[in-house]
Structures are given as C-alpha cells and as structure tokens.
Amino acid sequence: MQPPDLTHRARPVAFAYAGMTGLAAVTAALALPAGGLDVSPGHFWWIALGACVVVASLVVRTGLWTATGAYAAVFWCFHFGLIGVLASGLVTPMELSLWDQLWVLGPYGADAAFLALVGLAAFASGASLVSAWRTSRVNEADPRTDQRAAHPYGAAGSVLVLTSIALWCGIVAGTSGLVGFFGSYGDYLNATAEFGTLLALIWFALGGGLVLSVTGARGWLRTSALTAFGALTLVALPLGLRGEIMFPTMAALVGAARCGWVMSPRRAAAFVAALLLVIPAVREVRHTGLQGLSGMVIDLRLFDAFVELGGSLHPVEKVVRWRAEGEALEMGASYWAPIERAAARVLPGLRSSAAEDDMRIMNVLVMDRIGAIGFSPVAEAYRNFGALGVVCVLALLGAGLAGMDRIADRRLAVLAIATLYVPLLINVRNSFVSVPMQCLLGILFVAALGVIRHVSTSIVCRPYARPPYIRSQI
C-alpha cells in the first residue's frame, strides 16, 4: 500500500516529529563515548519501550505493509526482540543459552541496544522528513478490479522464482544428495560453503522474482511459482533457513500491498501468530533436521521467536566492544570494499585479495573472530564512522525507503521493491558487501526486460499487410 498524502495540518506535525527524533538521535550519538555508557541490562525496559514507540508511530503514519513500516517492524524484531522479552519478564536470563548470556548481559549489551535505538530514531527522522516533504498522485482506479494494475513483468518474475528454486535444489542435491534436504543447518552450511556467493544471488533473485510474480496477472505460471515457493518453504524452514524465506515473503507482501492487495487485519494477525510459532520451531529442528524429528520434544512459545530473531544485536555488541577496546574506525572501508572488488574483476590493472582474507568485509571479519552470527546495518555504520555514522546511515536509509513509498507509478514502485528493497531488507541481519552487486544486477535485469518488451512490442505492432493491388487499365 501507499502511505496517504499528508494534509496541511498533519504536515507540520510530521516535520516536528522528524525534527524531534533527528535531534534526539544526534544528541544521543554525541553523548555516547567511545568507551560506552554507564548502562546495565536493567535499562532494557526503557530501550525496548522507546523502540516500540518509534516503530508504532511509523506504522500508524505509513501503514505496516509499506517499505518503511515493514522494514521498521523487521528491524525491531532483529534488534530489540531479545531485550524486549527479557525486559518484560517473558523470558528469564537463566532460560537463555550460556552463549547468549555472555554477550547480552555483558558490559556492552545495553550499550548495543541503546545504539540500535539511536539508529532507529534516525531512521524514523529520515522517513518522516521525506514523507512530509514529498507528495504523490496516483490513479484513483481500484487496483483490485483494474486489470491494468497487474505488473507487466509478472511472468518474468514467476520464471525467476522457478529458476531460483531449481538452482537451489540442484546445489543441495549435488553437494549432499537427497539427504541434504532433511539434514541439519550445520550440515547444510558445510555442504554449500563453496557456493556462498551464488546462493546469495539465488535468494535475492527469489525475493525479487516473488515480488514481481505476486503483482503480475493471474494464471498458471504465477500459480506454479507460488506453489513452488510454498513447497520450498516446507523444505527450507526445517533446514533452518528462516531469513531466506521470511525476507522474500515480507517483500512480496509489501509489493502486493502497493498494488492494492492489502492483507486484512485478521489475516495479518494470523500470519504474525504463525510466524511466531514457526521461528522457534525452526530453531529446535535446525540442529538435527527432519531426520531427527521423531525423537525430539518441541516446546513452542510465541515469544521464543523474539529470542531467536533478537540475536542480530550480537554483532552490534561486538563492534561496540571492539571500539571500547581501542580499535580504530574503518572510515568507510567496508562500504567501499565491494565496489573496489567488483571493479577489480572488470578493470585491468586492479587487484584485490581473496574474499576470505579481506577483513574489510564485515561478515568475513565476524566469521574469523567469532563465528556465524550475521551482521547488522547498525553495526556496520558504527564500525565505519562511530555513533554519528549510525545516525547518518540510518537516516539516509529511512529517507530512501520513504521515497520508495512515495513513488506515484505503481509499476515503477514494484520494480523498486523488487530490485532495491529486497537487498536492503536482507541487509537487516547481514553485512553490506552484497547490497551494491544485488542492486546493480536487479537494475540490469529490469533494463533487459524493458528492452525485450520494447522490441517484442514493436515487432508485433509492425504492419505486415501488403499494399492493395490496383489493376492497371488496358
């Protein structure tokens, strides 16, 4: 869906809200010393509450199924879910694993949560500023009944979904055989380790293709793509691939809502409840896979999902700790690294080290020092530019997503969601390294579709009828 245009009375309120959240974020960033603040896990309750207020205010203003609202909700789950259930008492510290206790209850856990709150406030400021500044005009026709609302690239999206699923199945079957579809998450990672770059492109293509597919015209091709994605979900979730399914699904819901197919509150509540049940189930099953399900006792609680998702605060805690221990800032090195490495592949004379040895890439750095804990846009911004960098990067991100929501042309908005929003959504729990390449490939794919459509249309519309024969008179 598209956020409604602001009235003359509401616009000053939006500007005031943007100013207050922006000022609060900048002030907090300036007050945050390199050694951390004097905060403790006892402060989790007001940090989680503040994050809830910021996200709720954005969702009320923009709607949940917008690029801004959905991103803010996902960001909250991955950065504040764990401290939220700890602060509310739904989960006690003793129920956490020893691994989680060491970092979230350590000296820098609350600092990391506070830094994430600063980033969320900056995100809200940038999004509110653009929403108040820009207005858009769209066709008043109801997209649910207007056939022109179907995206012309829907068929291409369905083909992309089917191709991505086929490639993923081929990689798993080729590396592990049919047993690979029923193994544990650790076995899956070990078997597919050498296909990491290709798999990242496959998951991006799946997300972008799903957005185009659900916004396209109805037909057997779209039905086949959605059925295949449903089957993939049944296989991938027990393997532990929750993010690989969750992010394309969220992006597809945002794209569908942009075209007018908005999920009703009842269905949205059912979707969220099902998601909160599936996520902790995935956590239990991923250690053994479906092959060990018969001897497993699963105790499902809805709020355990926030414990599982909230682990994305862990890399934020690590970069705060490293900074407090005296490590220098990267000053943009991790943002420049993927561009430099891509240029080295196509330009003569440029050389780069192997990806697994390039410590400018944040997932490589974290894997080398800690292990596979994912990453975060907050952690990346802080690692590069400090607390003020978090404010600037998250404010620009919020402004960009709000600008995406204000695109008047529905078809162009769907293309932006498929090519730009999907990588940014995946980046919620990953490093920045794959974002530029994925965005570029998405834009090139859409451009190629545009050229093919233009050429095919011109061929179909070219007149081939012979000129009328006029019999000459003798």
The CA dihedral of 140, 146, 147, 148, to the nearest 10 degrees, is: -10
The residues with which 151 forms a beta bridge, in sequence order, are: 216
Q: Which two tokens stand for residue 75?
A: 């960001």
Residue 114 sits at the vertex; the CA angle it makes with 109 and 118, to the nearest 5 degrees, is: 145
Q: Which two tokens stand for residue 198?
A: 């290709």
- What's the start-to-end Cα distance of the chain, in Å? 71
Residue 260 included in any domain:
yes
* Res 145: pLDDT: 46
Answer positive or negative: Cα dihedral of 375, 383, 76, 125. negative
Task: Count structural domains, the chain.
Answer: 1
* Res 11: pLDDT: 76
Distance CA 271, CA 291 (A): 27
* Res 216: pLDDT: 87
Residue 447 included in any domain:
no
Residue 375 included in any domain:
no
Beta-carbon contacts of 148 under 8 Å, excluding residues fewer than 6 positions away, are 141
Q: Per-residue pLDDT for 419 more than 80? A: yes
DSSP letter (8 states) at residue 182: S
Residue 270 included in any domain:
yes
- Picking from 81, 105, 229, 221, the residue whose alpha carbon sits closest to that of residue 155 is 221
Residue 110 included in any domain:
no
Percent of the chain topping pLDDT 90: 33
Give the HSE-up count for residue 11: Cα atoms under 13 Å, Cβ half-sphere: 9
Give the pLDDT band (50/70/90) at residue 248.
Answer: very high
* Res 444: pLDDT: 92
* Res 203: pLDDT: 93
* Res 55: pLDDT: 93
DSSP letter (8 states) at residue 4: P
Give the pLDDT band (50/70/90) at residue 140.
Answer: very low
C-alpha separations of 463 from 450, 452, 457, 468 in Å: 22, 19, 12, 13
Q: Is 126:25 a contact under the CB 8 Å cutoff?
A: no
Residue 425 included in any domain:
no
Residue 371 included in any domain:
no
Distance CA 118, CA 24 (A): 8
- pLDDT tens across 145-159, in order? 454 567 888 889 999
Beta-strand runs (E) in 162-220 = none
Q: Per-residue pLDDT for 7 more than 60? A: no
Q: Of 29-38, 170-179, 378-387, which range is least confident?
A: 29-38
Q: Is 136:403 a contact under the CB 8 Å cutoff?
A: no
Section 286-290 average pLDDT? 54
Highest mean pLDDT (candidates 91-95, 314-318, 460-464): 314-318
Q: Specify the pTM.
A: 0.87
Distance CA 202, CA 424 (A): 15
* Res 122: pLDDT: 95
Q: Which two tokens stand for residue 20?
A: 């207050």
Residue 367 included in any domain:
no
Range of the domain at 200: 147-306
Q: Phi and psi at residue 213, in whole multiples of 5°?
A: -65, -50
Distance CA 91, CA 13 (A): 37
Name the residue with higher pLDDT: 416 or 12. 416
